[in-house]
Amino acid sequence: MTLTRNPNLDLTTLFSPEQKGEKDQTDPLIDPCPDWWWTGLRPTEVLKALPIPNLATCTRREVLDYFDNGWLMTEVLLSALQGEQAFLDPPYHQLRHPLIFYLCHPAVLYINKLRLAGLIHESINPYFEQLFETGVDEMSWDDMSKNEMDWPSVREVVEYRRSTYKIIRELIETLPDLEDSHPPIAMDNPAWALFLGFEHERIHIETSSVLLRELPLSVLRRPEAWPNLHPSAFAESHTVENELIAISSKTVTLGKPWREPYFGWDNEYGSRQVRVRSFQASQYLVTNREFYEFVVAGGYQESKYWTEEGWAWRQNRNTKWPTFWVADGPAGLHQYRLRTIFEVVEMPWSWPVGVNWYEAKAYCAWKTEQDNSPAPYRLLTEAEHHCLRRGNPPVNLNLTWGSETPVNALPANEAGFYDVFGNVWHWCEDDFNPLEGFRVHRIYDDFSTPCFDGEHKMILGGSFISTGDEATQWARFHFRRHFFQHAGFRLVRSDDGDASCDAVLISSQSNGVKAYEGEKILAENLMLHYEFADEVMPYNFGPKNAVGFPQRIAQLTLETADRLGIKKDRAIDVGCSVGGSTFELARGCESVLGIDLSVTFIEAAETLRRKGRLAYSRRDEGENTSQAEVCLPEDLDRRIVNFRRADACGLPPELVGFDVVLAANLICRLPSPRGFLGRLCGARGLVRPGGLLVLATPFTWDERFTPRDAWLGGHDGEDSLTVLQGELNQDFELLDTQDMPFLIREHARKFQYVVSLVSLWKRRSD
């Protein structure tokens, strides 16, 4: 049964027909859980999260216990799913993989990263290690992931996990770095990859719990070993008065010290000093009762409270109340219960509300109007969150409870604030951003960098289910604005009445992805891809032979495929920009897919595909512009061309086995070039065995796009082509290289002349 609407909308959707006795009782995954499910330890008591290991003092036993603790959490959590089909059905919003992916993904990452670190040398199952390697980071709330995958059976995945468990356990038991009195395990030590695997698994325990919370109760059973709901879930609810507390101006330092003896993700390191202006913040997180007032007042029907993008999301989803609220009565009565991970309970009004970023911002705008506030309410900034951190009171972290708690259930900190850490994450005003001194880690060079894009918002403080690194003061996490996590917010307003705040926002000047949005860059690329030589370069003394690069690279690709006898049924153009090379490939291929991360580029290319023409404005001199129009040739079959927005560093897993792959002027603009190159081969490679790969790049390395540590050469005397060959030679044969120029017109008298190195590769047959 594939869901197409939120099962938490009301009680009728929450309990599907399977709840009424129609389950397949022969399915071995129907309660009780079969013995073969458990691949390591078995639960003997209610789970308790162990603290993150100190890498300077941890013993071999402590590390083994910590691994077992996280591994068992995954299996206990996902043992809740009732029946094979529950693992295979995607979530109702179609924006994430089905849960079978998250059963296998942590195990696959262990194997892949430990191999990369040199701690193990053999694969278990190359097909699994590509199929389950990369999760989904959907581009937007209407970017429906296809989920058209043939997934292995649960039993096959469990056996893979069993093999992985044995390998990791043996590694821990024999690793010299864990001998008694070992020196601190630093991030340049290969053993760091082992702890990376531990923390990666704990991230997915939390995110998988949200996916379970989005499923019908009929396909779930609360595991006996899972922590209970907080007792307030079954007690009479109460409300709290949420007052503002003043915080004086102060200077805070962000960032985790490099010598801190605990594992950390790359984005935690570095530092930034911030002088925070005085502000006021609510002593509690915003509660269900407070947010209920916004719902009843019609806040979901008033566009004036929402950002433009947030309103479009609300309309698309027809959202009328928070996603984990369950309507309990006729429409309009506003009677609600609350969906937890495994149950529905009477609404606990004093628990923090769980919402996405759009909803949090809409509430702030509404509350500003209601209170006639002298300054607008908003969310915390990262620096302001640091200002609230005083003392070390008890917190709802580390699965102490299996749910949120009342916002006043635990003591306030020394500044008078409750739940600065734990209960639910805090949505922030800041875009996810690197600190000064940030550098990628070679074992996971694309953990953070693809998300420094201005489209991911920071969340801080952890939730009730956060464990390990997520539960530390250093955790800096991020999600897209529409994403649901166990996340809420706290009201803030500036003392100076200024609507702005000191949040870090990614701008086109500081970010590679944003640099490819906007009218100026669109016009430059449309001219690069479609205009005739005399239009782009009207001067006879100019390099007219550099015009028409997309057509020339596509023609070279088709000619090479023909010369080698490679069929051209399916082609993909990765980093297609506005589609000039994609359309040219259609002259010789049966079907062509263009992929690009830029919204602007994909929208332009899609308009050309549908209409065959596109008007635009090009810059001539200063602010003076002239109108132009791209018209595709009449003889071009646009029906065989499609475009899709996707990240080249995290291509959707269903994109495999293309006959022809073109990636022109792409790899030196990626945050993780090796991440893309690794996707080209293997059991589920982008290029099929015997297929053609054409790469073109000027090797213009730039830290706005690619962290220096992720460059393929270009520093310390390393030649980029030599490094590229080293990355590809095992799976591809280099056929030829040649130089190919291209020309970008900025305005009528300024041009960029660039020479790309084109390399032609044939994937070796398995």
The span from the CA of 69 to the CA of 80, in Å, is 17
Element (H, E) at 585: helix 580-585
Q: Which residue has the tokens 């269900």?
A: 288
| Residue where the block lists tokens 């959490």 | 73
Q: Do domains 60-219 and 514-763 have the same CATH topology?
A: no
Ordered DSSP codes for 686-710: SEEEEEEEEEEE-----TTTS-GGG
Question: Is the distance from CB of 46 to CB of 444 less than 8 angstroms?
Answer: no
Contacts of 399 (CB under 8 A, 6+ apart): 47, 48, 49, 73, 227, 464, 465, 467
Backbone angles phi, psi at 455, to 5 degrees: -110, -5
* pLDDT for 508: 40
**Cis link prior to 32 (omega < 30° from 0)?**
yes
> Mean of the pLDDT values across residues 467-494?
97
What percent of the chain lies above the pLDDT cut of 90? Answer: 83
Examine the pLDDT at 20 and tell me if it is beyond 60. no
Q: What is the mean pLDDT of residues 449-473?
A: 95
CATH architecture of 60-219: Up-down Bundle (1.20)
pLDDT of residue 696: 97
Kindly state the average pLDDT of the residues 255-276.
Answer: 96
pLDDT for 314 beyond 90? yes
Would you give the distance in Å from CA 469 to the centre of its chain? 18
Please check the confidence at residue 517 and state whether its pLDDT lies above 70: no
- How far is Cα 108 from Cα 451, in angstroms, rounded to an integer? 22
Q: Residue 514 above 70 pLDDT? A: no
Angle made by CA atoms 94, 96, 98, in degrees to the nearest 5:
90
Could you state, in order of their start, the residue ranges of all structural domains in the chain? 60-219, 246-287+351-494, 514-763
Whether the per-residue pLDDT at 140 is higher than 60: the answer is no
**Domain 514-763 carries which CATH code?**
3.40.50.150
- Name the residue among 288, 699, 730 with its Cα closest to residue 489: 288
Report which residue type is found at 147: N
What's the rounded Cα separation, in Å, for the pair 347 and 292? 11
User: Which residues on adjacent β-strands are paired with residue 427?
Assistant: 459
- Taking only the tens place, the pLDDT of each residue in 390-449 is 999 999 999 999 999 999 999 999 999 999 999 999 999 999 999 999 999 989 988 998
> pLDDT value at position 500?
66
* Position 509 confidence tier, pLDDT thresholds 50, 70, 90: very low
Rounded to the nearest integer, the mean pLDDT of the chain is 92
Q: Residue 112 is encoded by which pair of tokens?
A: 């892949």
Q: Which helix (H) or strand (E) holds 747?
A: strand 732-747
Q: How many residues does the chain have?
A: 766
User: E strands, 411-483, where?
Assistant: 425-431, 456-460, 477-480
Q: Residue 500: how many CB atoms within 10 A of its CB?
A: 11
What torsion, rounded to 10 degrees, do the Cα atoms 459, 461, 466, 471 define?
A: 130
* Structure confidence at residue 510 (pLDDT): 47
DSSP secondary structure, 514-548, as one string:
GGG-SHHHHHHHHHHHH--HHHH---TTS-GGGS-
pLDDT of residue 19: 43
CA-based max dimension of the chain: 83
Report d(CA 466, CA 202) in Å as an integer.
8
How far apart (Å, rounded) are the C-alpha atoms in residues 371 and 282? 14
**Alpha-carbon gap, residue 251 to 706, rounded angstroms:** 31
Dist CA 74 CA 106 (whole Å): 9
Would you state the structure tokens that stand for residue 500, as one six-digit string?
């702005």
Full-model pTM: 0.86
Contacts of 563 (CB under 8 A, 6+ apart): none
Per-residue confidence band for 150, with pLDDT thresholds at 50, 70 and 90: confident
CATH class of the structural domain 246-287+351-494: alpha beta
Cα 392 from Cα 398, distance rounded (Å): 15
Cβ count near 322 (within 10 Å): 23
Name the band, by pLDDT with cuts 50, 70 and 90, for residue 30.
confident
